[in-house]
Amino acid sequence: MADLSRHLPLSNRPSQDESGVTADRREALAVVVRQAHDLTAGTQAPPAEAAARFLAESRLDREFAGRPLPEVADAVAAGAPRGIRALADAVRALLSLAADRPVDLDPVTTGSVALYAVGRAPFDRRAVVGGCTLRATDAGWEFGRGPERAAPARQILDFALGLADVPPPLTTRR
């Protein structure tokens, strides 16, 4: 019974350094904008058009319309705090821009965006993954409870953000 208490809120769990915990997503957002800049060179559309599309889809065009993406990334990193919604919008725009090309996102970014996106997804998407554990096979994160749906983080994000209609496969029944 003593073992159970460490899992309860306000329990006597061992203390750990939580100084890096923040809701500010400026740095992660700046990284996503820089990756979008790198991807614009490889699109079929002219880089300026691809950058403008990224800014529009990420909703950053309200502040930074017409500005080059490296400048936007620097301004975001040095500017006001940004929340998870801004990061989720930018990740969705980045994945849309990338299409089938690989994107290297930080596991903290993919996990937090996936958790946010699943909570904000339309009812039909939430119903598919509700009552399941979503586990990223390549990023080391999981959330939820129930039968496991394991897939690469990109596949989970594509489904949660509405970029793909195929949910992560059900891998186990608990």
* Average pLDDT rounded to a whole number, residues 118-129: 93
Closest by CA to 53, choosing from 111, 94, 110, is 94
- The CA distance from 151 to 153, in Å, is 6
142 token code pair: 């999981």
Provide the residue type at 36 as one letter. A
Q: pTM to 2 decimals? A: 0.85
CA 133/CA 95 separation, integer angstroms = 23
Spatial contact of 57 and 47, defined as CB atoms under 8 Å apart: no
pLDDT in tens, 78-102: 999 999 999 999 999 999 999 889 9
